[in-house]
Amino acid sequence: MLMLLLGTGLHAVSLQSILQAPNLVSVESWGRLVTVLGGEILRDAAGNTFALLPFLPIWGIEFCISLVAWFGGGWWIARQRNVEFSTALSRWGVRGWTWWMLGGMWEIGRLLAFSLGWTGAEQFLLASPEIWQALLLAGWSATFLTLAKPSVAAPVSLPAPAAESAMTPAPSRSMRILEALRSVPLPLWCAMGAYFLVFGTMNWQLWKGLLIPHGDSAMYEEHLWNLTHGKGFRSFIDQGLFLGEHIQVIHVLLLPIYLLWPSHVLLEWCESAALALGALPVFWMATRHTGSPRAGLLLAGSYLLSFPMQRLDISIDFKTFRPEAFGIPLLLFTLDALDRRQWKALLVWLVLTLLVKEDYALVLAPLGLWILFVVARDADGATDRAAPTDPPSKNPPSKKFWRWLGTGLVVFGAVYLVLAVKVIIPAFRAGNIVHYTRYFAKFGDSMEEIVWNILTQPGLLFSELFTAENALFATSLLLPAGFIALLSPTRLAVGLPLFGALCLNEIARNAQHHFHAPLVSIVYWAAAAGLGNVPRIQAWCRDRWGRQSAPESALMLQSFAARFALTCALFTGVFYSISPLGLAFWDSGSPGYWRVKYVPGERAKHFPRVLEQIPPESRVASTDFVHPRFTHYERSYDYSAFRPEIPADADYLVIDVHGPYSKVTRPEDVDAYRKHPERWELLPDTTEGYFLIFRSRP
């Protein structure tokens, strides 16, 4: 009871401070919550809104919840573990409400950082109340699930393949693949299917509601349409061919099915399916390292719930299709092949991964170093290299082979990246430097200047690397997997060069965009090995400090770690995910509210009347969110603040009056019409003012 009182009291103090501002929910919902709790909303001298909240209502609600959870959880633990009710209450109260105290440490840490002048620590704490609440809920839930487990089972011994004989041919590749798929439990298939249906449906509804932008989403479907209609690998928003932006051609592999259904929605479904399939290698790797399919299932579930992965399906600004998303499963399959020491499969998956984007070369060279110093060192040892369904290799690669392979990947990765950035991409940009050099403006204007300043100005480098924003970025990548990736530091280090580059990128320091895609794969690769390292780390600590522990304690700790990874992904998603598991999906004041984003409104219902007036052979200039609907026309031009000039051959101009970011309310607000009325004819409005259609005069 003492721990219960301390935990709820300390957390109530923190929650009182957190709710002084709309940190956890939208401003609208925050205002209602403050009213319910009997608080008062005020404004300071600078005009900032804040709330004064009484302590007792917050503590009273938390204490009632804690009391019910304590007695109910204690009863269930006693029933499941066949122990005395008082014993179960004691264990659950001490271990469970320790996490409440940890969540409550947010306020103590904030006050301490403020009083000591630790600006960076204070900024991190002020920006991360959601992370602390997610950590509290995840640890509390994982503790209950572990305590309520009927018994700690020994790792499942998966049957080893029978030894080959002269009369028994080795299983074919297709048979090995089939056996690997059979090893996947039904709950994981169901979870993958649920992810596919939920995010596929969300993407489809965004498309129906005219809420998918052309830039960085629908433009990729235009690449495929133009490629199949003799217009080149490009959209008409690109500077020349798309290769002048990125070496990104993975979506071209969708052409065989795209020919059957030439639609942007097809690309959305394929993206969601690919991301869901990434759970398979996560399951196989975790099962291989732990010997427990349950641990593999829990980590794969964590992957599916991980908001950094989900943000590759629908990013923070609701851009829904990114070819970078295909890199997550492809890199995971690459790493799974490496764990199995199947070098041929490794190279095949690696080539496919490099088709995703040149950014993946930043992972290639450090992966080669890992092979050189870790795989080659253990090449002759009985390590975790073989999956349970893999037959024993007659001629396993030698240390020398792995050394050559690792060295080759290091050299190839470095050369490929330099060629991509300095030669290939500029060649498609009329010799201009790559466009993303402007993301590193603090270090210079050219790639050479940026690299030189990074190497010669350590003060500037450290000031950009070690910031509260980057600490929050790292935490948001590691927390959904329960920080278990830290238990395999050499694997996690493979992602350090890319992470460092993103920390210097002025727009990429956020796990809610798309730049971090390769790091999702690295984190779950390291987490799978980290789960397997839990018993070894516990044994090392026991030997170092001379403490005795029961043999099953290591298995219980591993079981807790797997559950913690799942609950961390679940509860970070509550605060950061835009799926139905996130608060934003149900919060009526949030930009991601389901009625606003996933129920087509009047604007979308009136748009078919626009299409009725424009022949398919026309050349159409249009604003961003209706632009994707004209990519199958003769030409589809972007008309926006970025490209305010309309090409001379445009036949029609379509303005989305009520679309996102629109500043047009009447025809005279359109520059092209106001400045050149002799060229454009305004067609009669049939859309009740939702769209303006201008036709070019002969």
Q: What tokens were used for 104?
A: 């409550």
Chain-centroid distance of CA 7 in Å reads 32
pTM, 2 dp: 0.91
Closest to 295 measured CA to CA, from 305, 284, 307? 284
**pLDDT of 328 strictly over 90:** yes
**pLDDT of 373 strictly over 60:** yes
Chain-centroid distance of CA 448 in Å reads 31
Q: At 551, is the pLDDT very low, low, confident or very high (cuts 50, 70, 90)?
A: low
Q: What is the pLDDT of residue 571?
A: 95
The Cα–Cα gap between 10 and 58 comes to 11
**pLDDT of 83 strictly over 70:** yes
Reduced to 3 states (helix: H, G, I; strand: E, B; else coil), residue 521 is: helix
DSSP β-bridge partners for residue 635: 619
Q: Residues 54-75: what's their mean pLDDT? A: 91
The Cα–Cα gap between 273 and 205 comes to 17
Q: Over the stretch 393-423, which tens digit does the pLDDT of each residue have? A: 556 778 888 899 999 999 999 998 888 888 8
Closest to 292 measured CA to CA, from 482, 555, 524? 555
Q: What is the pLDDT of residue 192?
A: 96
Asked which of 6-10, 216-220, 239-243 is least confident by mean pLDDT, the reply is 239-243
Nearest 10 degrees: CA dihedral of 373, 375, 379, 382? 120
Residue, of 157 and 694, whose pLDDT is higher: 694
Q: What region does 253 belong to: left with phi over 0, alpha with psi -120 to 50, or beta?
A: alpha
Longest dimension (CA), the chain: 91
Q: What is the pLDDT of residue 383?
A: 44
Q: 619-622 and 635-638: which strand pairing?
A: parallel
**pLDDT of 553 strictly over 80:** no
- DSSP 8-state assignment for residue 640: S
Q: What is the pLDDT of residue 156?
A: 45
Q: What tokens were used for 156?
A: 């499942």
Under 8 Å CB-to-CB from 232, ≥6 apart: which residues?
A: 226, 241
What percent of the chain lies above the pLDDT cut of 90? Answer: 42
- DSSP 8-state assignment for residue 432: P
**pLDDT of 307 strictly over 50:** yes
Q: What tokens were used for 457?
A: 């100005």
Tell me if 337 sits within 8 A of 530, measured CB to CB.
no
Q: What tokens were used for 384?
A: 């975790």
- DSSP 8-state assignment for residue 242: G
Per-residue CA distances from 60 to 56, 72, 140, 151, 405 (Å): 6, 18, 19, 35, 62
Reduced to 3 states (helix: H, G, I; strand: E, B; else coil), residue 324 is: helix
Under 8 Å CB-to-CB from 283, ≥6 apart: which residues?
A: 184, 188, 293, 296, 297, 299, 300
Query: What sign for the dihedral angle of Cα 628, 631, 636, 637?
Result: positive
Q: Over the stretch 334-350, which tens digit does the pLDDT of each residue have? A: 999 999 988 899 999 99
Q: At 141, is the pLDDT very low, low, confident or very high (cuts 50, 70, 90)?
A: very high
Q: Residues 4-23: what's their mean pLDDT? A: 87
**SS3 of 447-491:** HHHHHHHHHHCHHHHHHHHCCHHHHHHHHHHHHHHCCHHHHCHHH
